Amino acid sequence: MNAKESNPADSADSVPKLGPLPDHIAIIMDGNGRWAQSRGMPRIEGHRRGVDTVRMVSETCTELGIEALTLYCLSSENWKRPQQELDFLMELLERYLVEERPLIMEQQLRLQVIGRRDRLPDSVIKEMNETIRLSAGNPGTKLVLAIDYGGRDEITRAAKQLCDDVQAGRLGRDEIDEQAINDRLYTHNLPDVDLMIRTGGEMRVSNFLLWQLSYAELWVTETCWPEFPRSELERAIENFRSRDRRFGGLSVGQ
């Protein structure tokens, strides 16, 4: 065989085998305000443009058959932002829940919201509940919006529920295990996060799904959320599929 020739079988073996798609993708949608300000626009314009990216990402996950997509919309710490920006975010959220409702139904998405509700406007909760109700029977991707959400707060609430259940005799102390905690989280009906994407370049998880991210693969991009393209989402998923996920063990053959 000529040195420049190659065996087709060898070439096939050299192509990396891709693993399965992630069951659950979580995204920290960062960089909206910075993107707008760098273009001489008010911060709120970045949030407005970001809605288009939400639409693209949910459509892509639906096409790929991803089981769950969780988007970090508003953290429990975001209430420290200027009131004008918060008012706009609430207005934008309410508008999204109404205007995107036909698309949610068309794509068979199932809306779920995690986080506190006691600080949200009644009008937002009304539209939220209506979209959740209408989409409850949809068989497609679970679209999970994390609104007024904090990972530490979620775990604290789960711990209080465990205490209540032990005191009421519904649960024994020795029955408290990882599954018991998981069952009391907002995400009890979802698989753990497989792939966490953060836009905007910051290298932190920002109190997002702390329990659920335990073995997630991370993908951080400098691209801000309003400009995050489908091609980069697909690249993140392909990169995830190429990784050797050992969950604390060893790879085959090691």
Tokens standing for residue 199: 């836009």
Sequence-distant (≥ 6) Cβ neighbours of residue 116 within 8 angstroms: 76, 148, 149, 153
Is 77 annotated in a binding site? The answer is yes
Number of other CB atoms surrounding residue 86 within 10 Å? 14
Is 205 annotated in a binding site? The answer is yes
Is 184 annotated in a binding site? The answer is no
Is 31 annotated in a binding site? The answer is yes
Is 34 annotated in a binding site? The answer is yes
Kindly list the catalytic residues: 30, 78
Is 95 annotated in a binding site? The answer is no
β-sheet bridge partners, residue 144: 70, 112
- The answer to whether the CB of 60 falls within 8 A of the CB of 234 is yes
Of 237, 174, 239, 242, residue with least CA distance to 24: 237
Is 204 annotated in a binding site? The answer is yes
The whole-angstrom separation of Cα 53 and Cα 55 is: 5
Residues in the chain: 254
Is 79 annotated in a binding site? The answer is yes
The whole-angstrom separation of Cα 141 and Cα 137 is: 11
Is 200 annotated in a binding site? The answer is no
Is 30 annotated in a binding site? The answer is yes
Q: Give every strand in the sheet of 195-198, ordered side by side.
A: 110-114, 142-149, 68-75, 24-28, 195-198, 217-220
β-sheet bridge partners, residue 27: 71, 197
Is 55 annotated in a binding site? The answer is no
Is 116 annotated in a binding site? The answer is no
Annotated binding-site positions for substrate = 31-35, 43, 47, 75-77, 79, 81, 198, 204-206
Annotated binding-site positions for Mg(2+) = 30, 217
Annotated binding-site positions = 30-35, 43, 47, 75-77, 79, 81, 198, 204-206, 217
